[in-house]
A and B are shown apart, each in its own frame.
Chain A
Amino acid sequence: MNQNNKTFEENMQRLEQIVRAMERGDVALDESLKLFQEGTQLVRSCEKLLDEAQLQVNKIATAADGSPVEEAFSDER
């Protein structure tokens, strides 16, 4: 499980909900302020995830019992 990607995806989905709720304009002002704070943090967190991401590349080999084993794969030429 790629946790960073999962977090990113969940953040994006939550951001979509927040923007939709705020644009609908039917939440109280203090609730809007809370959503705004949460959204701003999520945006920052998403940007950080993108900034710090490093593509992981592994090669799948097969163990003796047939199950997959991950091996490092370098594509630097």
Chain B
Amino acid sequence: MSQQVLSVTQINEYIRGMMDEDALLAGVAVKGEISNYKVYPSGHHYFTIKDEGAALKCVMFRSSAVRLKFRPENGMKIIAMGKISVYPRDGAYQLYCTAMTLDGVGDLYAAFEQLKEKLSRQGLFDPVHKKPLPQYPGTIGIITSSAGAAIHDMLRILRKRYPLTQVRLLPVRVQGAEAPGEIAAAIAYANHFHLADLLIVGRGGGSIEDLWAFNDEQVARAIFDSEIPVISAVGHEPDVTISDFVADLRAATPSNAAELAVPDQDGLRQLLDSVSESMVTALQRQLKASRRQLDILRASPALQSPIVYIGQRKKALELLSSRLGSSGQQVINRHRQRFIAYTAKLEAMSPLKVLTRGYAMAQTSTGEVIRSTSQTQIGDTVNVIVGDGSFETVVSKIKENVQ
């Protein structure tokens, strides 16, 4: 026997490999009715979809299930998207479902997805193209039906929040075959004549068919080409249209668009109050600082009581001058003592002092001290000075010492 024997695991893996290589099975959309729907604590959803003659097991993992836009229930007709593969443990194939939509809108949904994909590729949704909205729009252009509830909702909110703005309504049909052309033309017209600082384009809620004009490529391109910032305001919260992706801002509803378009006057009045408060606080702080400076100056003695201050200064001056006086006396005394000492020294060295010890000094008549016999001749009068006076004498004999 050359027949190859395989384990169950091997055969299941083989089949799984075959199915995973199949291009059709890798991305299918299957329509049918939900039955046996179960949500496990893990967050994964398990269910079966069936038609008259067949059933298909499905699993939707938590990561995909959290993105569901509605709550699936048994009996619902749906289209489930995902890939078909084998669950080897059970030897069963199943649909690994990644998205689910309600059936009946299947064709529109496909068209929507295609256009969304195309415009996204062309960069129409790119955040770099989103224009900032004016903070205080002077004129708001509203492109919607003049008959619907949407315009009234918007005007009511604008009137309440920010009546300083003015509204220009550009009435258009918002559903039916003519709607996309009218909406696109109104956007272009508002731009051409600079009719507004901000545009709101939208309508109230309705069926997906009713909202279809806002999934039109012509409208999407008109919004993209608008120099004036555009808020899209289509239907109710969960409705998302192509216009929402292209617009500079998406509002959940027309009322919400009016709220996003303008500041709220209650908030503005609060802001004005806090501005006033800030100014008062800043001014008070500055006044306080100035007053503190003034207090410091005022506390200075010169300003507080000039007479006392002058008295104080006078006393200080007297103290200083008396200190100066006494120190001056000390200096004089010191000098006097030094003078007495010097005088004593001088006296000790005086030639007159020598004379008191018995020496005498002779002077010529002209007052020269006689040191040599040659300075005198016989008959000259010589003045002799001794310790207590002097006398004159006449030279009668000269003797020179023999050396």
A interface residue numbers (CB < 8 A to B): 1-2, 4-6, 8-9, 12, 15, 18-19, 22-23, 25, 29, 32-33, 35-36, 39-40, 43, 46-47, 49-50, 53-60, 62, 67-68, 70, 73, 75, 77
Any chain A CB within 8 A of the CB of B35? Answer: no
Closest B residue to A4 by beta carbon equals B164
- A22 near B164 (CB under 8 angstroms)? no
Q: Name B residues whose Cβ lies closer than 8 Å to a Cβ of A.
A: 135-139, 141, 146, 151-152, 155, 158-159, 162-171, 189, 193, 195, 265, 268-269, 272, 275-276, 278-280, 282-283, 285-287, 290
Most A C-beta atoms less than 10 A away, residue of B141, B282, B285: B282
| Beta-carbon contact of B287 and A29 below 8 Å | yes
5 further A-B pairs in the complex, CB-CB below 8 A; given A60-B169, A60-B171, A62-B189: A2-B164, A2-B166, A29-B287, A39-B279, A53-B162
Report whether A58 and B168 are in contact in the complex, using a CB–CB cutoff of 8 Å: yes
* B195 with A68: CB separation less than 8 A: yes
Contacts between chains A and B (CB distance < 8 A), count: 109
Q: Is there an interface contact between B163 and A60, defined as CB atoms closer than 8 Å?
A: no
Interchain residue pairs A-B with the least CB separation, the first 6? A2-B138, A22-B282, A53-B163, A56-B166, A5-B138, A9-B136
Contact between B276 and A33, CB atoms less than 8 A apart: no
Chain B residue contacts of A39, Cβ below 8 A: 275-276, 279
CB pair B275 A70 closer than 8 Å: no
Contact B138 A36 (CB under 8 A): no
User: A67 vs B166: C-alpha distance in the bound complex, in angstroms?
Assistant: 19
Per the bound structure, the CA–CA distance linking A63 and B121 in Å amounts to 39
Question: Cα distance A68–B193 when bound, in Å?
Answer: 8
Beta-carbon contact of B283 and A43 below 8 Å:
no
A-chain residues with CB within 8 Å of residue B169 when the two chains form the complex: 57-60, 73
Report how far A35 CA is from B286 CA in the complex, Å.
Answer: 13
Q: Taking CB as reference atom, which chain A residue is nearest B272?
A: A43
Residue among A70, A73, A77 with most chain B CB within 10 A: A73
List, in ascending order, chain A residues with CB within 8 A of B163's CB: 50, 53-55
- Taking a contact as CB atoms closer than 8 A, the residue among A9, A49, A56, A68 that contacts B167 in the complex is A56
Q: How far is the CB of B191 from chain A (nearest CB, A)?
A: 12
Q: How far is the CA of A6 from the CA of B197 in the complex (A)?
A: 12
Q: Complex formed: what's the CA distance from A6 to B170 in Å?
A: 23
Collect the chain A residues with CB atoms within 8 Å of residue B272's CB: 15, 43, 46-47
22 residue pairs of the A-B complex, CB under 8 angstroms, read A5-B165, A5-B166, A9-B135, A15-B272, A22-B279, A22-B283, A29-B286, A32-B286, A36-B283, A39-B275, A46-B268, A46-B272, A50-B163, A50-B265, A54-B163, A55-B166, A56-B166, A59-B146, A60-B169, A60-B195, A70-B168, A73-B169
